[in-house]
Amino acid sequence: MNGTMKQSYIQQLQKKLPQCPNIMGKNEFVNAAVLVPLVPIDDEYYFLFEERASHIRQGGEICFPGGIYQKEVDATYEQTAIRETIEELGVDASQIHIIGQMDTLLAPMGMTVDPFIGILQMDDIKQLKMDTNEVARVFLVPVSFFEKHPPELHQVKLMAHPIDEKPNGQTEILFPVRELGLPERYHKPWGGVRLTVYIYRTPEDIIWGLTAKIIYYLIQTLVAL
Protein backbone atom coordinates (compact mmCIF):
# COMPACT_ATOMS: atom_id res chain seq x y z
CA MET A 1 0.00 0.00 0.00
CA ASN A 2 1.65 3.23 -1.15
CA GLY A 3 1.41 6.59 0.62
CA THR A 4 -1.48 7.85 -1.52
CA MET A 5 -3.50 4.70 -0.89
CA LYS A 6 -2.79 4.91 2.84
CA GLN A 7 -4.05 8.50 2.93
CA SER A 8 -7.19 7.55 0.98
CA TYR A 9 -7.80 4.63 3.35
CA ILE A 10 -7.57 6.91 6.39
CA GLN A 11 -9.87 9.49 4.80
CA GLN A 12 -12.51 6.83 4.08
CA LEU A 13 -12.21 5.51 7.62
CA GLN A 14 -12.56 9.00 9.03
CA LYS A 15 -15.78 9.55 7.07
CA LYS A 16 -17.28 6.32 8.43
CA LEU A 17 -16.52 6.97 12.08
CA PRO A 18 -19.59 8.18 14.01
CA GLN A 19 -20.05 11.94 14.28
CA CYS A 20 -21.83 11.44 17.60
CA PRO A 21 -20.30 8.38 19.31
CA ASN A 22 -22.84 6.13 21.00
CA ILE A 23 -22.57 2.70 22.63
CA MET A 24 -20.35 0.22 20.82
CA GLY A 25 -22.24 -2.99 20.05
CA LYS A 26 -25.59 -1.51 21.10
CA ASN A 27 -27.39 -4.07 18.95
CA GLU A 28 -25.97 -6.84 21.16
CA PHE A 29 -28.03 -5.54 24.09
CA VAL A 30 -31.76 -5.51 24.70
CA ASN A 31 -32.68 -1.94 23.73
CA ALA A 32 -35.53 -0.16 25.50
CA ALA A 33 -36.92 3.35 25.72
CA VAL A 34 -39.00 5.10 28.36
CA LEU A 35 -40.96 8.29 28.65
CA VAL A 36 -40.27 10.42 31.70
CA PRO A 37 -43.74 12.03 31.95
CA LEU A 38 -43.96 15.52 33.44
CA VAL A 39 -47.52 16.43 34.38
CA PRO A 40 -48.22 20.15 34.93
CA ILE A 41 -50.51 20.83 37.88
CA ASP A 42 -51.08 24.44 38.96
CA ASP A 43 -47.59 25.95 39.13
CA GLU A 44 -45.60 22.75 39.50
CA TYR A 45 -44.53 19.73 37.49
CA TYR A 46 -45.02 16.17 38.71
CA PHE A 47 -43.42 12.91 37.63
CA LEU A 48 -45.95 10.25 36.72
CA PHE A 49 -44.98 6.74 37.80
CA GLU A 50 -46.42 3.30 37.17
CA GLU A 51 -46.51 0.28 39.44
CA ARG A 52 -46.04 -2.79 37.29
CA ALA A 53 -48.79 -5.43 37.42
CA SER A 54 -47.92 -8.24 39.84
CA HIS A 55 -47.96 -11.05 37.27
CA ILE A 56 -45.47 -9.56 34.78
CA ARG A 57 -41.68 -9.37 34.87
CA GLN A 58 -40.50 -7.22 37.80
CA GLY A 59 -44.08 -7.06 39.03
CA GLY A 60 -44.83 -4.58 41.80
CA GLU A 61 -41.84 -2.37 40.98
CA ILE A 62 -42.11 1.32 40.16
CA CYS A 63 -41.13 2.55 36.71
CA PHE A 64 -41.80 5.02 33.93
CA PRO A 65 -43.91 3.96 30.94
CA GLY A 66 -41.81 2.32 28.26
CA GLY A 67 -40.67 -0.93 26.77
CA ILE A 68 -38.52 -2.81 24.29
CA TYR A 69 -37.61 -1.24 20.96
CA GLN A 70 -39.21 -3.17 18.09
CA LYS A 71 -37.43 -2.46 14.83
CA GLU A 72 -40.36 -3.83 12.81
CA VAL A 73 -42.67 -1.26 14.43
CA ASP A 74 -40.58 1.66 15.68
CA ALA A 75 -38.48 3.84 13.40
CA THR A 76 -36.80 5.44 16.43
CA TYR A 77 -36.43 4.93 20.18
CA GLU A 78 -38.61 7.98 20.67
CA GLN A 79 -41.42 6.17 18.88
CA THR A 80 -40.92 3.23 21.24
CA ALA A 81 -41.36 5.48 24.28
CA ILE A 82 -44.47 7.12 22.83
CA ARG A 83 -46.03 3.85 21.64
CA GLU A 84 -45.54 2.14 24.98
CA THR A 85 -46.93 5.14 26.88
CA ILE A 86 -50.05 5.16 24.72
CA GLU A 87 -50.53 1.42 25.24
CA GLU A 88 -49.90 1.42 28.98
CA LEU A 89 -51.69 4.60 30.03
CA GLY A 90 -54.41 4.79 27.39
CA VAL A 91 -53.53 8.33 26.39
CA ASP A 92 -53.55 9.89 22.93
CA ALA A 93 -50.36 10.80 21.09
CA SER A 94 -51.55 14.41 20.99
CA GLN A 95 -51.27 14.52 24.80
CA ILE A 96 -47.52 13.81 24.70
CA HIS A 97 -45.06 16.59 23.88
CA ILE A 98 -41.44 15.39 23.77
CA ILE A 99 -39.04 18.12 24.89
CA GLY A 100 -35.79 16.21 24.67
CA GLN A 101 -33.74 13.10 25.24
CA MET A 102 -31.33 12.15 28.01
CA ASP A 103 -28.12 10.17 27.59
CA THR A 104 -28.50 6.46 26.93
CA LEU A 105 -28.40 4.45 30.15
CA LEU A 106 -26.39 1.24 30.01
CA ALA A 107 -27.88 -1.18 32.51
CA PRO A 108 -25.59 -3.79 34.10
CA MET A 109 -27.99 -6.61 33.19
CA GLY A 110 -27.44 -6.29 29.44
CA MET A 111 -29.93 -3.59 28.50
CA THR A 112 -29.76 -0.04 27.18
CA VAL A 113 -32.47 2.47 28.05
CA ASP A 114 -33.08 5.69 26.13
CA PRO A 115 -35.13 8.11 28.30
CA PHE A 116 -37.22 10.83 26.66
CA ILE A 117 -38.59 13.75 28.65
CA GLY A 118 -42.15 14.63 27.74
CA ILE A 119 -44.98 16.85 28.94
CA LEU A 120 -48.10 14.75 29.48
CA GLN A 121 -51.23 16.85 29.25
CA MET A 122 -54.15 15.57 31.33
CA ASP A 123 -56.75 16.87 33.73
CA ASP A 124 -56.75 14.00 36.22
CA ILE A 125 -54.85 10.70 36.39
CA LYS A 126 -58.16 9.04 37.32
CA GLN A 127 -59.20 9.58 33.70
CA LEU A 128 -56.40 7.35 32.41
CA LYS A 129 -57.52 4.16 30.71
CA MET A 130 -54.61 2.05 31.92
CA ASP A 131 -53.84 -1.38 30.56
CA THR A 132 -54.36 -3.35 33.76
CA ASN A 133 -52.50 -6.30 32.29
CA GLU A 134 -49.34 -4.22 32.59
CA VAL A 135 -50.07 -1.44 35.08
CA ALA A 136 -51.41 -1.93 38.60
CA ARG A 137 -51.67 1.77 39.42
CA VAL A 138 -50.20 5.18 38.65
CA PHE A 139 -49.27 8.02 40.97
CA LEU A 140 -47.69 11.48 40.90
CA VAL A 141 -44.75 12.86 42.86
CA PRO A 142 -43.67 16.52 42.60
CA VAL A 143 -40.34 17.09 40.90
CA SER A 144 -39.50 19.35 43.84
CA PHE A 145 -39.60 16.33 46.17
CA PHE A 146 -36.56 14.88 44.42
CA GLU A 147 -34.82 18.25 44.42
CA LYS A 148 -35.19 18.41 48.21
CA HIS A 149 -34.56 14.74 48.99
CA PRO A 150 -31.30 13.26 47.66
CA PRO A 151 -31.32 9.51 47.07
CA GLU A 152 -29.89 6.92 49.41
CA LEU A 153 -26.83 5.31 47.85
CA HIS A 154 -26.16 1.60 48.17
CA GLN A 155 -24.07 -0.86 46.20
CA VAL A 156 -24.29 -4.25 44.54
CA LYS A 157 -21.41 -6.44 43.44
CA LEU A 158 -21.35 -7.94 39.95
CA MET A 159 -19.37 -11.01 39.01
CA ALA A 160 -18.68 -12.63 35.64
CA HIS A 161 -19.54 -16.36 35.77
CA PRO A 162 -18.01 -18.57 33.05
CA ILE A 163 -20.16 -21.52 34.18
CA ASP A 164 -23.91 -21.59 34.86
CA GLU A 165 -24.84 -23.86 37.74
CA LYS A 166 -28.34 -25.23 37.09
CA PRO A 167 -30.88 -25.92 39.89
CA ASN A 168 -30.90 -29.61 38.87
CA GLY A 169 -27.16 -29.89 39.55
CA GLN A 170 -26.07 -29.76 35.92
CA THR A 171 -23.64 -27.15 34.68
CA GLU A 172 -23.47 -25.23 31.42
CA ILE A 173 -20.14 -23.95 30.17
CA LEU A 174 -20.80 -20.42 28.96
CA PHE A 175 -17.21 -19.44 28.31
CA PRO A 176 -14.64 -22.27 27.64
CA VAL A 177 -11.82 -20.72 29.62
CA ARG A 178 -9.90 -24.01 30.07
CA GLU A 179 -10.13 -24.93 26.40
CA LEU A 180 -8.89 -21.48 25.46
CA GLY A 181 -6.01 -21.77 27.87
CA LEU A 182 -6.84 -18.57 29.68
CA PRO A 183 -5.20 -17.74 33.03
CA GLU A 184 -6.41 -19.63 36.12
CA ARG A 185 -8.10 -16.51 37.54
CA TYR A 186 -10.78 -16.78 34.83
CA HIS A 187 -11.68 -20.39 35.69
CA LYS A 188 -13.93 -19.15 38.49
CA PRO A 189 -16.17 -16.04 38.82
CA TRP A 190 -14.18 -12.85 38.43
CA GLY A 191 -14.77 -9.11 38.40
CA GLY A 192 -16.50 -7.97 41.55
CA VAL A 193 -17.27 -4.51 40.20
CA ARG A 194 -19.43 -2.51 42.60
CA LEU A 195 -22.28 -0.51 41.14
CA THR A 196 -24.20 2.26 42.87
CA VAL A 197 -27.90 1.68 43.49
CA TYR A 198 -30.07 4.77 43.94
CA ILE A 199 -33.06 4.66 46.34
CA TYR A 200 -35.79 7.28 46.77
CA ARG A 201 -38.26 6.83 49.63
CA THR A 202 -41.30 8.80 48.45
CA PRO A 203 -44.65 9.15 50.23
CA GLU A 204 -46.13 6.81 47.61
CA ASP A 205 -43.52 4.06 47.32
CA ILE A 206 -39.84 3.22 47.11
CA ILE A 207 -38.34 4.08 43.74
CA TRP A 208 -35.04 2.40 42.93
CA GLY A 209 -32.93 0.90 40.17
CA LEU A 210 -32.88 2.31 36.66
CA THR A 211 -35.89 4.56 37.29
CA ALA A 212 -34.21 6.17 40.29
CA LYS A 213 -30.97 6.59 38.35
CA ILE A 214 -32.80 8.40 35.54
CA ILE A 215 -34.43 10.71 38.09
CA TYR A 216 -31.10 11.38 39.79
CA TYR A 217 -29.36 12.47 36.61
CA LEU A 218 -32.33 14.51 35.45
CA ILE A 219 -32.38 16.35 38.80
CA GLN A 220 -28.63 16.94 38.47
CA THR A 221 -29.31 18.53 35.08
CA LEU A 222 -32.00 20.77 36.57
CA VAL A 223 -29.79 21.81 39.48
CA ALA A 224 -27.04 22.79 37.05
CA LEU A 225 -29.33 25.19 35.16
pLDDT tens digits, residue range 134-150?
999 999 999 999 999 99
Q: What is the pLDDT of residues 98-120, one digit of tens each?
A: 999 999 999 988 899 999 999 99
* pLDDT value of residue 73: 95
Q: Is the pLDDT of residue 5 over 70?
A: no
d(CA 35, CA 81): 5
Catalogue all structural domains in the chain, each as residue range(s) with its CATH number: 26-148+205-223 (3.90.79.10)
The model's pLDDT over 62-79, given as tens digits with 9 standing for 90+, comes to 999 999 999 999 999 999
CA atoms of 201 and 220, how far apart (whole Å): 18
Q: How confident is the model over 92-96, as a mean pLDDT?
A: 96
30-59 pLDDT, tens digit per residue, is 999 999 999 999 999 999 999 999 888 888
**The 3-state secondary structure of the chain, one letter per residue:** CCHHHHHHHHHHHHHHCCCCCCCCCHHHCEEEEEEEEEEEECCEEEEEEEEECCCCCCCCCEECCEEECCCCCCCCHHHHHHHHHHHHHCCCHHHEEEEEECCCEEECCCEEEEEEEEEECCCCHHHCCCCCCCEEEEEEEEHHHHHHCCCEEEEEEEEECCEEECCCCCEEECCCHHHHCCCHHHCCCEEEEEEEEEEEECCCCEEEHHHHHHHHHHHHHHHCC
What's the pTM value of the predicted model, to 2 decimals?
0.91
- Each residue of 165-177: pLDDT tens digit? 988 989 999 999 9
Mean pLDDT of 209-219: 97
pLDDT class of 2 with cuts at 50, 70, 90? low
As a whole number, mean pLDDT of residues 121-136 equals: 92
